[in-house]
Amino acid sequence: MAADKTMGSTQFWRGMRWVVWGGMAALLALPLVAMQLTHEVQWTAFDFIAMGGMLALVGGAFELVVRVARSNTYVMAAGVAVANAFLMTWANLA
């Protein structure tokens, strides 16, 4: 039986999954904290749902790439592409 050679089987990328999901949770919590400190940030429930959905899609794409990729270069390139798509969508929604 051949050994699993995908990036998801390496210790580094398993740790990075925690970093990515934790970073996305912190990014979603940031407006909530800002709303408590200033009146300039006013998000509605729809804003949190939309951002949560976008972050879930980014996280899902990251999980998919890490599980199927066979090289670090592919994971990094896909990460840059997904991050750019996320930032463009976020900027257009703002």
At residue 51, the 3 state secondary structure works out as: helix
By CB atoms closer than 10 A (0-12, 13-18, 19+), residue 29 is exposed
With bands split at pLDDT 50, 70 and 90, how would you rate the model's confidence at 8?
A: confident
The Cα 4–Cα 18 span in angstroms is 21
Tell which residue, 74, 62, 76, 78, has the closest CA to residue 5.
74
Instruction: Give the per-residue pLDDT at 70.
Output: 85
34 pLDDT higher than 50? yes
